[in-house]
């Protein structure tokens, strides 16, 4: 188990913030069959169209723990795919930055531990920090690389490894 559990989806509710735009569609459904037979979240990025569009799904983080180094989660997909695991930094819109790294998702449940130091791809920013600043993380989320894509996640946490 991670040191700080952000969400395990056992409540059956989801507090995602979807900031996508254009013709892309984001769906989140709480499903059975998570890690250990519990609940999980199925995330689907879909849609069809042309022109600029993006998907951006974020789970809020109240306060990044002092000394924490990793985002930890369990993930699987019916069809292998690639996604970006990202961190949103804030606290205000004017300070907003999104840093990410690519992750391969396979058909079997597996735990992925993403080092904050590996979030090196700035995918969007108002502020231009030279590198990610963990103390400013206000959300953990996902962006699709393969499209359309569906995957399940469970037990999102924050840890020191």
Q: How high is the pLDDT of residue 102?
A: 96
Q: How high is the pLDDT of residue 49?
A: 65
* Tens-binned pLDDT, residue by residue, of the chain (161 aa): 668 889 899 988 878 887 777 778 888 999 999 998 899 999 998 877 666 667 778 889 989 999 999 999 999 999 999 999 999 999 888 888 999 999 999 999 999 999 999 999 998 888 888 889 999 999 999 988 888 899 999 999 999 98
Token digits for 2? 């991670």
Token digits for 34? 């998570």
Burial class (CB in 10 A: 0-12, 13-18, 19+), 105: buried
Q: How many CB atoms are located within 10 Å of the residue 93 CB?
A: 7
Cα–Cα dist 49/46, whole Å: 10
Cα–Cα dist 15/6, whole Å: 11
Closest CA to 70 of 15, 8, 4, 121: 4
Q: How high is the pLDDT of residue 93?
A: 81
What does the H/E/C string look like for the chain? Answer: CCCEEEECCCCCCCCCEECCECCCEEEEEEEECCHHHCEEEEEEEECCCCCCCECCEEEECCCCCCCCCEEEEEEECCCCEEEEEEEEECCCHHHCEEEEEEEEECCCCEEEEEEHHHCCEEEEECCCCCCCCHHHEEEEEEEECCCCEEEEEEEEEEECC
Cα–Cα dist 22/13, whole Å: 26
pTM higher than the cut 0.85: yes
């Amino acid at each position: 188990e991670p040191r700080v559990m952000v969400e395990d989806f056992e409540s059956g509710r989801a507090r995602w913030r979807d900031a996508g735009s254009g013709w892309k569609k984001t769906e989140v459904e709480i499903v059975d069959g998570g890690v250990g037979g519990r609940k999980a979240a199925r995330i689907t990025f879909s849609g069809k169209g042309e022109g600029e569009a993006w998907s951006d799904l974020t789970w809020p983080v109240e306060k990044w723990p002092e000394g924490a180094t990793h985002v930890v989660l369990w993930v699987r997909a019916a069809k292998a795919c690639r996604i970006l695991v990202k961190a949103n930094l804030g606290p205000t819109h004017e300070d907003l930055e999104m840093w990410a790294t690519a992750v391969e998702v396979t058909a079997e449940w597996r735990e992925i531990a993403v080092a904050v130091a590996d979030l090196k791809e700035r995918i969007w920013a108002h502020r231009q920090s030279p590198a990610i600043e963990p103390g400013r993380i206000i959300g953990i989320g996902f962006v699709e690389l393969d499209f359309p894509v569906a995957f399940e996640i469970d037990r999102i946490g924050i840890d020191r490894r």
